[in-house]
Amino acid sequence: MIPEILFFAIMLAMFVLAAMWWRLPIGISLIIASLSGTLVSGEGIPIRHLVEGTFAYLDPILIISTAMIFMEGLRASGALNSISRQIIISMHRRPLWLIILITLFIMFPGMITGLSTATVLTTGALAAPALIHLGIPSITVAAMIAMSAIYGMIAPPINVPAMIIGGGVDMPYIGFELPLIFATFPLAIGVNLFLGYKYLRNIQIDRILPKLGRDYFADYGWKLYIPLILVVALMSGVRIAPAYFPNLGIPLIFIIGSLSTLFCGQKMNFWKVSHKAIQEALPVLGILIGIGMFIQIMTLNGVRGMLVITSLSIPSVWRYLSMGIMIPLFGAVSAYGSASVLGVPFLLAFLGQNEIIVGSALSLLTGLGDLMPPTALAGIFAAQVVGEKNYFKVLKITLLPAVVTALWGLAMIYFANVLGKFLLF
């Protein structure tokens, strides 16, 4: 046990040194940490294991890449701006429904890409000016966007942390839809109602309308939404009516949807749109490559087994406390890294509970890592979107929702078997 603890300490130290001292990208820092783990354990440079680790998360990488192209296509075509505008115009007299629909609108990119940053930089950036013009303070808007981005990242159909946790125990990503909806939608709607509803009592739509941007719907009509309808139909059709819908795979469905945006809205240069989308996704893709290598080396030198044994030996009371604190804090490095390094061992520690419910709840805890400094991807980008330079003002507002979220996730784990009877068929 002692050598494995030493190996793990050296790998973590090298990661922190590379990421925080040398200021290297998180993905590169994980690769350096992986190499240090092979060298100190006497394995040299095992090329086969390094290459296997690189391709460990190929499926999520393809999904994220193609989903980002699709989202960028929707934004360039004018569809996203049109949806935001229509929600505000049609619901300005019903603040309750306005908050609910805006929350779901902001969450949408995260739901189909598995990225909180994609949410903040697309629908979050579109919704922020409108919410500020509606009278919500900019810091509160940033907090709403950051929390919605995290919940969108965890909501179905695409949840990369849950895929990583499931992959670590050979559990297929099947049947997670209702548990993930239960884990995210009540929190997302409740948190944003708590933060923003009190500011939306007297909305003067005539003053806000000129600030909502161009009315793409007036120019293109319902044709704008054909790509979105097409992707939803192809994704759901294979489950509802498999005899009529071929199983094309999620990456191909996103590519088909992306190509359809060329004919359903504002003209665009598809290659430039694709290039921009991949550039935005590259840091996260690098993290997934680094995580795959990191986990492969942890398996090789025994660190992963040590973590599993340690997790199993922790008393149940302290196990909940350690999950609620360690998983979000480790997520400051990477939510995906937290899912693989800590999520997998803790899932194994709760094998007596419903694994899908536990995996869903653990993925919710990992998502909170995108609020934790120094990386704090969701929080920092949300602050930038509203022009706030001090991220810690946003963190202060999100602290209570984050604590409630962690308690919700822990409660899901505690009542996993009960919830499984209602949420799984």
Structure tokens at 254: 């996103």
How far is residue 165's CA from residue 335's CA, in Å, rounded to a whole number? 11
SS3 401: helix
pLDDT at res. 3: 83
Per the model's pLDDT, the better-predicted residue between 199 and 315 turns out to be 199
Backbone angles phi, psi at 209, to 5 degrees: -50, -45
CA angle 366, 304, 291 (to 5 degrees): 50
pLDDT at res. 322: 87
Dihedral sign, Cα of residue 264, residue 266, residue 267, residue 272: negative
Identify whether the C-beta of residue 245 lies closer than 8 Å to the C-beta of residue 207.
Answer: no
Q: What is the mean pLDDT of residues 381-385?
A: 85
Identify whether the C-beta of residue 115 lies closer than 8 Å to the C-beta of residue 153.
Answer: yes
pLDDT at res. 149: 94
pLDDT at res. 22: 85
Backbone angles phi, psi at 21, to 5 degrees: -95, -50
* pTM for this prediction: 0.82
Structure tokens at 119: 């949410």
DSSP-derived letter for residue 134 is T
pLDDT at res. 211: 67
pLDDT at res. 288: 81
Identify whether the C-beta of residue 330 lies closer than 8 Å to the C-beta of residue 341.
Answer: yes
pLDDT band at 299 (very low <50, low <70, confident <90, very high): confident
Among 208, 218, 216, residue whose Cα is nearest residue 129: 208
Task: Please report, as a single letter, which amino acid is at residue 117.
Answer: T
How far is residue 416's CA from residue 264's CA, in Å, rounded to a whole number? 44
State yes or no: pLDDT of 43 exceeds 70.
Answer: yes
Over residues 206-233, the pLDDT tens digits come to 677 666 677 788 888 889 999 989 988 8
Q: Which residue has the tokens 């303070």?
A: 137
Helices and strands in the chain: count of H runs, count of E runs: 24, 0
pLDDT band at 305 (very low <50, low <70, confident <90, very high): confident
Over residues 141-161, the pLDDT tens digits come to 999 999 999 999 999 988 989
Among 188, 114, 181, 99, residue whose Cα is nearest residue 151: 188
Rg (the chain; Cα; Å): 22
pLDDT band at 191 (very low <50, low <70, confident <90, very high): very high
DSSP string, 254-323: HHHHHHHGGGSSS---HHHHHHHHHHHHHHHHHHHHHHHHHHHHHHHTTHHHHHHHHHHHS-HHHHHHHH
Q: How far apart are the first and last CA of the chain?
A: 41
- The percentage of residues in the chain with a pLDDT greater than 90, rounded to a whole number, is 32
Q: Which of 54-63, 70-79, 239-248 has the highest mean pLDDT?
A: 70-79
Q: What is the mean pLDDT of residues 316-330?
A: 86
Identify whether the C-beta of residue 129 lies closer than 8 Å to the C-beta of residue 142.
Answer: no
Q: What is the mean pLDDT of residues 323-349?
A: 84
Q: How confident is the prediction for the chain on average, in pLDDT?
A: 87
Q: Which of 8-17, 26-35, 178-187 has the highest mean pLDDT?
A: 178-187
Identify whether the C-beta of residue 366 lies closer than 8 Å to the C-beta of residue 150.
Answer: no
pLDDT at res. 99: 93
DSSP-derived letter for residue 211 is G
Identify whether the C-beta of residue 413 lies closer than 8 Å to the C-beta of residue 346.
Answer: no
Question: What DSSP element (H or E) covers 132?
Answer: helix 125-133
pLDDT at res. 4: 84
Over residues 245-254, the pLDDT tens digits come to 888 888 898 8
Structure tokens at 313: 């030996």
Structure tokens at 16: 């922190």
State yes or no: pLDDT of 1 exceeds 70.
Answer: no
Identify whether the C-beta of residue 109 lies closer than 8 Å to the C-beta of residue 158.
Answer: no
pLDDT band at 32 (very low <50, low <70, confident <90, very high): very high
SS3 39: helix
Dihedral sign, Cα of residue 9, residue 11, residue 13, residue 19: negative
DSSP string, 58-105: HHHHHHHHHHHHHHHHHHHHTHHHHHHHHHHHHHTT-HHHHHHHHHHH
